[in-house]
Amino acid sequence: MKLGRDKRYFYDFYAFLCNYAHCNFSIINEFIDDGQFSCDKSDNIYMAKVMTLFVYIKLFESIVTVEGEDFLNSREEKECYKLVIESTKFIYDRLEAFSKYNCKTASEDLNRHMRNMFKNMRSSLKEEVGSIKKDFL
């Protein structure tokens, strides 16, 4: 489901993930080092972690803050909301650095798509999904 600001980054994000999910040969150079298979050559490990956290945060926010979620008690609810705020701030700051993306081995067109994708991902975090106000960003 693509709603609101998520529409702005969805297609670039999906295209990027498809390269890995469908074993696209365009990424083979990330796994071949000096003629040998390697899991250590890729420098996208940090970016993969940021993307994973981004997806988790978007899902968690929509689960926690949408009306009708049942919490065991008010303490659990406060802790979940606190976690949504802290994690959103954390990933928002990380995406700022990625919005200046410039890979020396990639084409300018790819770099532009990646920069726009990260800027739009960051912007989508400001959108209020449920009952939490995003004035902390």
Output phi, psi for 67, to 5 deg. -55, 140
Q: What is the mean pLDDT of the chain?
A: 86
Supply the DSSP string of 94-125, one letter for each residue.
HHHHHTT---TTS-HHHHHHHHHHHHHHHHHT
Cβ-based neighbour number of residue 129 at 10 Å: 19
Instruction: Evaluate whether 89 touches 137 at the Cβ level (below 8 Å).
Output: yes
pLDDT per residue as tens digits for the range 73-86: 999 999 999 999 99
- Determine what percent of the chain is predicted with pLDDT higher than 70: 92
Element (H, E) at 33: strand 32-33
